Amino acid sequence: MAIIGTDIQKAMALLCDQQVVAIPTETVYGLAGNGFSEKAVAQIFAVKNRPFFDPLILHIGNLKMLEQIASTLPPLALQLAQQFWPGPLTLVLPKTANVPNLVTAGSDWVAVRMPKHPLALALLQNLSFPVAAPSANPFGYISPTSAQHVANQLGDKIPYILDGGSSEVGVESTIVQIIEDKIRVLRLGGLSIEDLQQCLGKEITDITLSASNPKAPGMLSSHYAPTKPLYMLQNNQSWEEALQQMPPNTAILAFNELPTNLQESYPHLILSKNACLNQAAANLFAALRTLEALNVSCILAQYVPETGLGRAINDRLRRASFR
């Protein structure tokens, strides 16, 4: 079983030895390995049971490392990096020859981000290579937002889990491809479209969350799925109407409120009692894990307002309920 601890030196030593360890980030926990080592990267795919067509994000601790990874740095990329790094933004840029093809699934583009979590940042700043890190969950399942989540699923496959507490943001990074002076959003995530637009001073029109021909394969229609079926409350449907079509042992995941009679009759969780979308995002994946572990046969959830981090929450709920 993996040891759970806060020893950065130990995590660094394992990474330098081309082994795979879990690390905390502000978005979700990552399954980390030396991003310049094919051996380490192959091990990441094996531990996650991830198909090789799904490329990995490289994590860096300083901008100097970016020069080793990206062959060109358009001014727009630098502007976004300066504004939002460290933070929940991933930039997709043309790659250098240093980056193994295994990392990018054969693409000439590489995804890079500088995470904000202090343990991750300290670790990255002391390494001479970037760290490849997908979310530390088995392929297709909900991302982990605590060390225990990682241990529950991958604990028998990795030696060490660096414990940085609960992930503050709770949904994965926003992925943005920079094509010269244009920007294309490939994944909605922990940095809101509104924040991006404010920095750019213009509206973002190219949001390409492809599913069938996945540019960002985390964007496969069915993804982020819990082990129990997840159903969504439809537009204008009341909880009562939806529950009539559900088995009696259904669990409910509500955004900010739930009528008292339903609270008494159904196991339930409320994502944010004061309707804060950032708090809802931080609680989302842990809530799905808690509900699916109950003695229930399915989960009924509702979409949240489609603004700020609400977009990323709804995207995850849509994919988790896809069938």
Residues making contact with Mg ion (CB under 5 A): 135, 218
* Distance from C-alpha of 323 to C-alpha of 128, rounded to nearest angstrom: 43
Query: Which string of x and - marks every residue 219-238 that binds ligand TXA (by CB under 6 A)?
Result: x-------------------
What number of chain residues touch ligand TXA (CB under 6 A)? Answer: 29
Q: Indicate the pairing of strand 30-34 with strand 131-132.
A: antiparallel
**Whose structure tokens read 């507490």?**
165
* Distance from C-alpha of 124 to C-alpha of 94, rounded to nearest angstrom: 22
- Sequence-distant (6+) residues with CB within 8 A of 166 are 145, 146, 282, 286
Of the pair 109, 255, the CB lying nearest ligand TXA is at 109
Kindly tell me which residue out of 61, 130, 134, 310 binds ligand TXA, with binding defined by CB under 6 A.
134
Of the pair 41, 233, the CB lying nearest ligand TXA is at 41
Site for ligand TXA in 75-94 (CB under 6 A): 90, 92
Residue type (1 letter), 39? K
- Cβ-based burial of 181 (10 A; exposed 0-12, middle 13-18, buried ≥19): exposed
* Distance from C-alpha of 323 to C-alpha of 319, rounded to nearest angstrom: 9
**Least distance between ligand TXA and beta carbon 87 (Å):** 10
Q: Is 186 in the site for ligand TXA (CB under 6 A)?
A: yes
Site for ligand TXA in 43-72 (CB under 6 A): 54-57
Do 222 and 140 meet the contact criterion of CB atoms below 8 Å apart?
yes
Residue type (1 letter), 25? T
Of the pair 216, 296, the CB lying nearest ligand TXA is at 216
Taking the CB of residue 244, how many other CB atoms lie within 10 A of it? 8
Of the pair 135, 173, the CB lying nearest Mg ion is at 135
User: How remote is the C-alpha of 227 from its chain's centroid?
Assistant: 18
Query: Which string of x and - marks every residue 4-33 that binds ligand TXA (by CB under 6 A)?
Result: ---------------------x-xx-x---
142 binds, among Mg ion, ligand TXA, none (CB under 5 to 8 A by kind): none
The residues that touch ligand TXA, with contacts defined as CB under 6 A, are 25, 27-28, 30, 54-57, 90, 92, 104, 107, 109-111, 113, 115, 133-135, 172-173, 175, 186, 215-219
